[in-house]
Structure 1
Amino acid sequence: MSDFVNNFWSVYVSGITMVGILACLILLFVTARKKVVSDEDNTTGHVWDEDLRELNNPMPRWWMWLFIITVVFSLMYLAMYPGLGSYTGKLQWSQTGAYDKEVEKAKADLEPLYARFTAMSTEDIAKDSQAMAIGERLFMNNCAQCHGSDARGGKSFPNLTDGDWLHGGTPDRIHETIAKGRIGMMPPQAEAVGSPEDVRNLAHYVLSLSGSPHDSVKASLGKSKFTTCAACHGMDGKGNTMLGAPNLTDDVWLHGWGEQAIVDMVTNGKMNQMPAQEGKLTPAQINVLTAYVWNFSHKQGSAN
């Protein structure tokens, strides 16, 4: 009922529910009292296909009582569980509450399994075959949707296997990224750079930093405009992991390569978000996941 914006919908749902139950009771009452005048041979007088006749036998009592029990059960159910609009029921049950209990139970059951990983370093966890098997499942369930099952990412989703880290690739920085999440923002800079031609020249200068194909004349004209970008990316274009500003000299293009891709980035800006896993995963699970992700670009062997 969280999508309902006022009390009308709560009353509306409750009304339809109760009217439906009441209609069932009325139908049962009317059917039970109705008497059908039968012929001498105990038929209703209806004939189908010339010789198929309907007997006038009463409704089986077990069927009638089963119908009544069903109605009574529905009333009891609505009293105990949510079903009448915003009424939460005597038991205060909810899908969210049931899910939270299952998660807490799962965490308690798995705590002994993760206990030995809590005090281990990232490097040691990365060498543990059991930890890496657990890390693989954690990655598939929580990270692969964006970074891919092979962790190679895609356009706008970082490749975790190439050693190119926006916010740093040390265990501590990876742990921080997983736990707290990241928000990356490239503000629109076209107005600060100058004319559309200046933006295109700047794009060619950025391409030249990584040795990518570019127009050298336009790149030379765009070099002076790079001061607008240097505040985050540095004068040498090597980026800043504290700001999450990418290295522009390594030929790794997160949001697309080429003049037009860079022009669009400078003109429109970009915002990316890595959701925080803290609260969703336990500290021990984050430790294991950190080691699993760190291992992609460091290739540690499993010892056992």
Structure 2
Amino acid sequence: MSNAWSLYVIVLVVLNIGGCAWLLWWTARRRPGDPAPEETSHVWDGDITEYNKPLPRWWINMFYLTIAFSIGYLAWYPGFGNFPGLSGWTSAAEHDAEKARRDRQLEETFAVYAGRPLEQLAQDPQAMELGRSIFANTCAACHGSAATGAPGYPNLTDDVWNWGGAPERILETVLDGREGIMPPLGNVLDGMGGDVAITQTAAYVRALRSDDIEATLRNDYMAARGKKYFDGLCVACHGVDGKGNQELGAPDLTVRETLYPNTLDSIRTTIIEGRHGVMPAHRELLGETRSRLVAAYVWSLSNSGQADSPPGRQ
């Protein structure tokens, strides 16, 4: 908080406290010429009279004590702008102390799983229950409670991995995050053939997912024409055969399980505007051991056979 805002807060607090004290003092006094409490002249039904009696002295004194308490409270705790308070207490320090205490409890709970290989953790029912809980609290917002993903968010239950599905690769993704960028190519293709070139490239990309690419290209003129644009612009990341590059996070374009809808319009949008996918890093949020547990759970979703097998028979 800047000094100006701090002064503003202090002035407001002082004015409010002073205003309360003045109002209490002013309204508690009786002045010469004031009517007696019984002489308000407010009478109803002949015998119901409104009085104007002051509050009892003990009640007024309680209000004064409340004002005195508020002054002491604001002096002891940081209530006057940037003034730290005589006690030195801060909500941030209390939060940090509580967080440290909770972190120590978590470390004790998860210590038994520290450093264990993901394949071993995937065979431990209790570890998987913890991993499932961590996933529900941390990952389900993007990947869904069933981990089947959504447009732009990968399905974690299949065997399609843009960055690799090996246990340690998944752990790297959880710990340090990933950033996948598909650059926009609309302007480039505009200079090579305009909107037709974009559509032809999209048609070729869609054809890569067919069971027989050669037959598809023979029967689809647009897809066949799009191959030259793909070879000129896309192979650097996705490879000559379109199977992608897990080191770059470039997806395999030959699989049916796509990150975005497998429609011509969706593919055109990707080519024209590009895509930017970010998986945030969780190293600071979860720490090494909890990241290992959730990574083991994610790995088990697409490797249930190996996760269920006894050690040494994977």
TM-score after normalising by structure 1: 0.89
1:97–1:170 CA distance, 2 compared to 1 (3 A): farther
Amino acid at match of 2:44: D
The residue number in structure 1 matching 2:262 is 257
- Structure 1 residue 112: Cα displacement: 2.1
1:26–1:210 CA distance, 2 compared to 1 (3 A): same
Superposed, which structure 2 residues align to 1:1-304 within 5 Å? 1=1, 7-35=3-31, 37-39=34-36, 43-50=38-45, 51-193=47-189, 194=192, 195-211=194-210, 216-227=220-231, 228-299=233-304, 300-301=307-308
Amino acid at match of 1:128: D
**Secondary structure, counterpart of 1:151 in structure 2:** coil
- Structure 1 residue 230: Cα displacement: 0.8
Amino acid at match of 2:251: P
**Secondary structure, counterpart of 2:40 in structure 1:** strand
- Structure 1 residue 27: Cα displacement: 0.5
Amino acid at match of 1:230: V
Query: Alpha-carbon deviations, 1:60-83, whole Å to 9, x = none?
Result: 233223212222222233233344
Amino acid at match of 1:209: L
CA contact (8 A) 1:239 1:245 kept: yes
CA contact (8 A) 1:37 1:44 kept: no
Distance in structure 2 (CA, Å) of the matches to 1:75 and 1:199: 71
Distance in structure 2 (CA, Å) of the matches to 1:33 and 1:292: 73
1:60–1:122 CA distance, 2 compared to 1 (3 A): same
| Fraction of identical pairs, as percent | 38
Amino acid at match of 2:308: G
Moved more, 12-21 or 159-168: 12-21
Distance in structure 2 (CA, Å) of the matches to 1:15 and 1:223: 72
1:127–1:28 CA distance, 2 compared to 1 (3 A): same
Which runs of 5 or more structure 2 residues have no equivalent in the other structure? Answer: none
Which runs of 5 or more structure 1 residues have no equivalent in the other structure? Answer: none
Query: Alpha-carbon deviations, 1:192-211, whole Å to 9, x = none?
Result: 33322111100000000001
Amino acid at match of 1:104: A
